[in-house]
Amino acid sequence: MPASIDFVNQPITDSHPPAGTFAAADHELLDAYSKAVTGVAARVSPSVVRIEVSQSSRRGRDSQGSGSGFVFTPDGFILTNSHVVHGAGAITVQLLDGQKFVANLVGEDPDSDLALVRISAPHLTPVLLGDSQAIQVGQMAIAIGNPYGFQCTVTAGVVSALGRTLRSQSGVLIHEVVQTDAALNPGNSGGPLVDSAGRVIGVNTATILPAQGLCFAIGINTARLIASQLITKGYVQRSYIGVHAQSAPLHRAIAHHHGISTPNGALVLAVEAESPAQSAGIREGDVIVAFDEHSISGVDDLHRVLTEKLAAKSSQITVLRNTEKLSLTIVPAGKRNS
């Protein structure tokens, strides 16, 4: 007969950590979180501005509006949303120290909801720019802006999702939008979305009301491309092929079989009727991996390639369709926003 075991009189071994260990660990995490947020706020806030606009209606009445922006270059270029300054009769920029300056509208691009204004002011501190393609879901996201006129308000959360699309006021879909739960309110538009290192990863642009925690920012890589054209030309001119797309990973085996080195491509979500893409034979579900000699690893690459030089020019676009690799001839159309 096997020996019996007296469970009742067995000594009790406490395998739990001492009281207060979890509280100490939580305190360390909260302390690190607080230090990250306060550090970013101190570093970035001097670059964030309040933008006030006035408009005259046909009835002769003046209307007022406000939003946010951030210093993009040390010589006074400030990035914001197109919908903040669109149609403005006068634009005033207020810095963190309360100084106000009259701003000039350099240019705007309603299709991406981005705009540049410029002020003449000394000792401006530009932001550091990050890489929106390097963002990961779940990482810290800090929004700084002026909601409801409360200057330099800081909210924090995480990156909730990537690759969203958002329809601009011009009706065009904005691609590669970052979703965050960092609280945004009217007046935050145009302010920066920042990572834990103080680098701008997006331009805050919209919320979905009455939903809670559904906020969106335009990826800084897209903003950088638009801003460079606005600085050099005062308007944005691009080629147009007529697809709605988002970045998506490639099937490794299929990519390897066709000798494609990029891990991602631009997944076509929809093809507009009577567009260059439809004429070329591009279909929903195709993944664009190359345009002429340029590799396409996402929507940002596709935007970068579609410059005004390609308008009305015959080009080759390479797509993956299921397991096939196809090379199609496409003639992009020209499009200018100002």
Q: Is the pLDDT of residue 22 over 50?
A: yes
How confident is the model at residue 230, as a pLDDT?
94
This model's pTM is above 0.75: no
Q: Is the pLDDT of residue 43 over 90?
A: yes
How confident is the model at residue 291, as a pLDDT?
96
Q: Encoding tokens for residue 154?
A: 């800081």
pLDDT digits (tens, 9 = 90+) for 64-87: 888 999 999 999 999 999 999 998
* Arithmetic mean of pLDDT, 176-194: 91
pLDDT digits (tens, 9 = 90+) for 307-332: 878 888 999 999 999 999 999 999 99
Strands (E), 81-214: 90-94, 100-109, 114-118, 128-129, 140-145, 153-167, 173-180, 192-194, 199-207
The reply to whether 45-118 and 128-233 are identical in fold is yes
How confident is the model at residue 7, as a pLDDT?
41
- What one-character-per-residue DSSP string does 237-299 give? EEEE--EEEEEEEPPHHHHHHTT---SEEEEEEEE-TTSHHHHHT--TT-EEEEETTEE--SH
CA distance linking residue 311 with residue 241, whole number of Å: 9
Q: b/e map of 262-279 (b: 16 or more CB within 10 Å)?
A: eebbbbbeebeeebbbbe
Q: Is the pLDDT of residue 46 over 80?
A: yes
Highest average pLDDT, of 13-27, 233-247, 277-291, comes from 277-291
Domain 236-337 sits in CATH at: 2.30.42.10
Domain 45-118 sits in CATH at: 2.40.10.10
Q: How many other C-beta atoms lie within 10 A of the C-beta of residue 331?
A: 15
Which residues are designated catalytic? 83, 113, 189
Spatial CA neighbour of 296 closest among 133, 100, 60, 58:
133
Poorest-confidence range of 46-50, 208-212, 224-228? Answer: 208-212
Domain boundaries along the sequence of the chain: 45-118, 128-233, 236-337
How confident is the model at residue 121, as a pLDDT?
94
Asked if residue 334 lies in contact with residue 302, where contact means CB atoms within 8 angstroms, the answer is no
Q: What is Dmax (Cα atoms) for the chain?
A: 103
How confident is the model at residue 58, as a pLDDT?
64
Q: Name the CATH code of domain 128-233 (choices 3.50.50.60, 2.40.10.10, 2.60.40.10, 3.20.20.70).
A: 2.40.10.10
How high is the mean pLDDT of the chain? Answer: 87
pLDDT digits (tens, 9 = 90+) for 119-163: 999 999 999 999 998 999 999 999 999 988 788 899 999 999 998
